[in-house]
Structure 1
Amino acid sequence: MEIRVVNGVGEGHTELSAFDAALKGSGVYNYNLLYLSSVIPSGATVKEVGTLYDMEGAIGDRLYVVMAEERGHRPGETIGAGIGWYQFGLEGGFFVEHHTKGDSPVEVRERLEYLIEYSIRDLCAFRDKPFQKEKLHHNLSITTIQNKPACAMVLAVFEHETWNT
């Protein structure tokens, strides 16, 4: 199984429409999102692909994802979302999802990187696994709000499935 990591930002007249614009920006709009917790199955690979416009499927199909997203509406505020992941070779692994707001892209990036790293450190400890920083990966989406509400998101897309109709 290949799990694809995508990200997007969007803006709209409302925070909800900004969320939809961010889904479109990441290439995963028009699907029903089914949120998963954070476990990467044994044998799976994780690949950063940017967007998923090439994904097959019909409008309304189910899309299994781990997602981090942040919405906001205050001009000048910076928002960000990020997913980190860590794998134990063929034994699987896990994702962590974080989101935050701040005064600058640098502040938001540093906060997300801290949250992701220390969540992963804890999850390794809970599993009695050693933490090796070189195995830590992350993908961030950060934007500064202009004149309209905005959304930043990152998704780990597992698979899509049609409805049996």
Structure 2
Amino acid sequence: MLKQGIYEQVITKKIHDALDLLQKKDPDAYYINIETIDVEEGRKKLAAYIYEVTRKALHHVRDKDNREDDSLALQVKLCNEIIDQLADALPEEEFEELKIWEQGEILTSVYEKLNHPAGLSERKEIRPVTPISESSLFTGSHYEPNIMEELKKEILSSDAIDWLGILY
């Protein structure tokens, strides 16, 4: 059963069936507003939906009765199967190159050893706790990173800084 309220949800089979049930139960009892996905926003909305479905599937694979070392390999395998499906449906050969390397690793930095502070030592580079690839909201909670410390680490790890000033 769907709760009353505002939605901005891709209609899935489950939601369609729930809407159908509401209409059959009492066609005049509910006001239901449905819009066609805008062509320009389609990529964004559909990609966000696929992201959520994929995340849920990867969570399920991880929590299934697998050893921890098998879990990552199975998640990578599932992602590569999805990429295979996309590659089969599209003419671009580049999708084959987008497959995830089987070891399931993340590239965190590349520095030239000559004339760069990070390349001069073997120590691990200074990195913010919050990944640059994800957006973060700092609320000042004791359970999250300190915004000032994160800014300091961002500055130390950056090669350029752009400031945006606001005039009142």
**Superposition TM-score, scaled by structure 1 size:** 0.26
**Superposition TM-score, scaled by structure 2 size:** 0.26
Between 1 and 2, higher relative CO (CA 8 Å, sep ≥ 6) is seen in 1
Q: Which has the higher helix share?
A: 2
Q: Which has the higher strand share?
A: 1
